[in-house]
A and B are shown apart, each in its own frame.
Chain A
Amino acid sequence: MSAARLGSVPGPVMVAAGCGGTGRELLPYADQSGLDGLDLVTRSITLDARSGGPGPRVVEVPGGLVNAVGLPNPGLEHFLATELPWLVRAGARVFVSVAGATMGEYADLARRLSRAPGVAGLEVNVGAPDEAGAGLFEVREPYHAASVIAAVRREFPTDRPVLAKLRPDVSRIVEGARACHEAGATAVVVGNAVPAAFADGRPAGLSGPAISPIALRCVAEVHRALPDVPTIGCGGVHDLASARAFLDAGARGVQVGTALLNDPTTVARLRAVLLPDHLTTPEETP
C-alpha cells in the first residue's frame, strides 16, 4: 500500500490529543481565523463514556507534567452529537483520537466515524503510557499495534489519513513505525507521554520539555531507517526552535500538547510562523 493512497499528512502544526479540551476552550486563544483550518486531534474517544481517573490527575515535575487523566470523554454517541459538529462548524480539521478495549471496538469506532460528516482523519492511540489506558487493547507489541491499525484501516476511507501514535520507546520505535505503516497508517506520530509514575508510585506518563530529546531521537531514528514513512513529532514542542528541531530531524509536522497548558496561544503563535499563508485574507492576496 502506498502512503499516497492513504490520505495526505496533516501539519505542520497540530493540536495534540488530550490537550485541546473539547476544542471550544482554544477559541479565545486562536488568531483571527479562529479554529478555521486548524489541525486538531481530539481527546481520545471511546465507545462508552469514561469519567476519567481520580485526582490528582496531573502533577508538575521539573521540566514537565506527570499525568494519569484516564481518558475522560463523553463516549462516541455524545461526541458525534455535540463536540464534533461544533468543531466542524468552527472550521477545524478534526482528527479523532480513538481508543478501544478490543479490536472489534476499534473497528466499530472507525466504521462509525467514517460516516460522520467532517472527520478529516483518525489518530489511533497505540502507545498509552499508563494505566489510564486500563482496559484498553494492549498494543505495546508492534505486531498488536499493527493489527489495530489494519482493523481501523479496513473501516476507514483510504483517501483520509489514519495516524498511528506511538510512544517514544527508543528500543522498539523503528519496528513499531514500520509495522504500523505497513498496516496502512498514513503517518506515525512519534511521541506520547513516556511511562513514569507519581511520587506515590501510581503509574502515569511524563510529558513536556523533559521528553523532547527522547521524542526527537525516536523521530530521527525512524527517519533514518524508514525515510519513506512520514513522521509527526510530538514531545515538548513549545516554541519555534523546538518545533524546528523535529522538522530538521525529518518530521513532516509537529503536535503541540503540554505547551498549550502553559500558554494556550502556543499553537496560534507557531502557525503564524510555520504556516503564515493561512492568515492572508482573499483581499490581501495579490
Chain B
Amino acid sequence: MPEERGTPAGPVHVEGEVVATKRVGAYRHLTLAAPGIPERFRAGSFVAVTVAGHVARRALWVHRVRGSSAFGPTLDVVVQVQGSGTAWLAAQPVGTRIAITGPLGRAFALPKEAVSCLLVGEGYAAAPLFPLAERLRERGCAVSLVVSAPDEAHLLSALEARRSARSVTVLTADGSVGQRGGVPDHVDELLRRSDADVVYAAGPAVVLRSAAAAAERAGAWSQVAVEVPTPCGTGLCHGCPLPVVGEDGVDRVVRACTEGPVVRGDRVRWDHL
C-alpha cells in the first residue's frame, strides 16, 4: 500500500494520557493524548494499549483522530467491556497514563478515483469506518454508510457520519431503531442501491463475510477489517493467525496484526477463520 506523502512511517510506542472519557450507549469512548500516533494514523489501523496487571495487550479501533487540540494530538477509541482488561480500561478517569503503541496494521486502501463506496459496519468494530468516510469524501467519493447493531445501545453514532456520507442506513436486529435485521439480510439490496464499486466492511466475521460475498456477486472490490485476538498487536508473537489465499493463489496463514487487519474480502478463507 503506498504511503501517503508527508506521513511519518511506522508505529511508535508512547506514554499517552486519558484526556476525556464518556459513556455512549453500551460503550465507553476514551480520548487519548498520544503524541505521534494521530499524525501517522490511517483509517483501519489500530492501537494496542497496556492494561494494568495484564501481560497481553488490548487492541482498540480508532474512531477519530485530531491533529491538534488543547491536549495536543489525540485519538478517540471505543471500548466495549468484554473482560477484566477492558473493564479496567473503561473505568479509567481523566489523567490516567497509558502505554500506547500505534498505529498498527495495514489500513484501508483508498481508491485512486472518485468512485462510489459502500461502508458496512457492525457494533464497536464499525469505528474505523468513520475516519474512512471522511477520507473518502475528501477524495470526492460518494459514500453510503450502513451501521448495524443488535440494538440501539450497541450502535455507533450514525449522526456524526451524516457529514461525510451521502446516505446513512441504520440496521438493528431487534428493530429498536432504523430497519430491522442484520447486514446479511440487507447487504445485496444496499449494494445495488448505492451502485458501489468498492465495499468496505468492519465488524464480526459474519458481517465481513456477507459483505465480501455481496461485493463479489456484484462485481465490486471489497476490503474487510478482520478482528482476531491480537495478544501483542505488533507482529512479534505470531499469535494472531489469519487464513488467506495469497496473491499467488496459495493458501497461507498471515498475521492479522501486520498483514491485516484490513485485507481483501475475497482473500479470506472464511471457513478456516
Q: Does A51 contact B (CB under 8 A)?
A: yes
**How far, in whole Å, are A18 and B239 apart by their CA atoms in the complex?**
10
Q: A55-B228, A63-B55, A208-B55 are in contact. Are A263 and B237 (CB under 8 A)?
A: no
**How far, in whole Å, are A51 and B244 apart by their CA atoms in the complex?**
11
Q: Tell me whether A69 and B55 are in contact (CB under 8 A).
A: no
* Binary interface encoding of chain A residues 24-66 relative to chain B, with 1 for a CB under 8 A from any of its CBs, else 0: 1111110000000000000100000001111111111001110
Q: Does A213 contact B (CB under 8 A)?
A: no
Q: Tell me whether B56 and A264 are in contact (CB under 8 A).
A: no
Q: Does B222 contact A (CB under 8 A)?
A: no
Q: A258-B55, A261-B231, A264-B101 are in contact. Are A54 and B241 (CB under 8 A)?
A: yes
In the assembled complex, how far is the CB of residue A245 from the closest CB belonging to chain B, in whole angstroms? 18
In the assembled complex, how far is the CB of residue A19 from the closest CB belonging to chain B, in whole angstroms? 6
Q: Does B229 contact A (CB under 8 A)?
A: yes
Q: Does B157 contact A (CB under 8 A)?
A: no
In the assembled complex, how far is the CB of residue B224 from the closest CB belonging to chain A, in whole angstroms? 17
Cβ-neighbour of B12 out of A18, A28, A67, A263 (below 8 A): A28
Looking across the interface, which residue of chain A has its beta carbon closest to that of B54?
A: A60
Q: Tell me whether A18 and B55 are in contact (CB under 8 A).
A: no
Q: Does A72 contact B (CB under 8 A)?
A: yes
Chain A residues with CB under 8 A of B228: 55
In the assembled complex, how far is the CB of residue A260 from the closest CB belonging to chain B, in whole angstroms? 6
Q: A55-B240, A60-B54 are in contact. Are A263 and B99 (CB under 8 A)?
A: yes
Q: Tell me whether A261 and B50 are in contact (CB under 8 A).
A: no
**How far, in whole Å, are A119 and B55 apart by their CA atoms in the complex?**
32
Looking across the interface, which residue of chain A has its beta carbon closest to that of B9?
A: A28
Q: Does A147 contact B (CB under 8 A)?
A: no
Q: A60-B56, A63-B55 are in contact. Are A18 and B237 (CB under 8 A)?
A: yes
Chain B binding surface SS class: loop
Q: Tell me whether B236 and A25 are in contact (CB under 8 A).
A: yes
**How far, in whole Å, are A56 and B13 apart by their CA atoms in the complex?**
25
In the assembled complex, how far is the CB of residue A242 from the closest CB belonging to chain B, in whole angstroms? 13
Q: Does B232 contact A (CB under 8 A)?
A: yes
Chain A residues with CB under 8 A of B137: none
Q: Tell me whether B231 and A265 are in contact (CB under 8 A).
A: no
Q: Does B253 contact A (CB under 8 A)?
A: yes
Q: A52-B253, A65-B55, A209-B55 are in contact. Are A57 and B238 (CB under 8 A)?
A: yes
Q: Tell me whether B239 and A20 are in contact (CB under 8 A).
A: no
Cβ-neighbour of B55 out of A24, A27, A53, A60 (below 8 A): A60
Cβ-neighbour of A58 out of B231, B234, B235, B252 (below 8 A): B231
Q: Does A227 contact B (CB under 8 A)?
A: no
Which residues of A come within 8 Å of B, CB atoms? 18-22, 24-29, 43, 51-60, 63-65, 67, 69, 72, 208-209, 258, 260-265
- State the 8 A-B residue pairs at the shortest beta-carbon distance, nearest first: A58-B239, A25-B235, A261-B232, A60-B56, A58-B231, A21-B236, A51-B253, A28-B10
Which residues of B come within 8 Å of A, CB atoms? 10-13, 50, 54-57, 85, 99, 101, 228-229, 231-232, 234-241, 252-253, 258
Given contacts A53-B241, A261-B231, 18 further A-B contacts (CB under 8 A): A21-B235, A21-B237, A24-B235, A28-B11, A29-B13, A51-B253, A55-B229, A58-B229, A59-B231, A60-B55, A69-B239, A260-B232, A260-B236, A261-B236, A261-B239, A263-B50, A263-B99, A264-B101
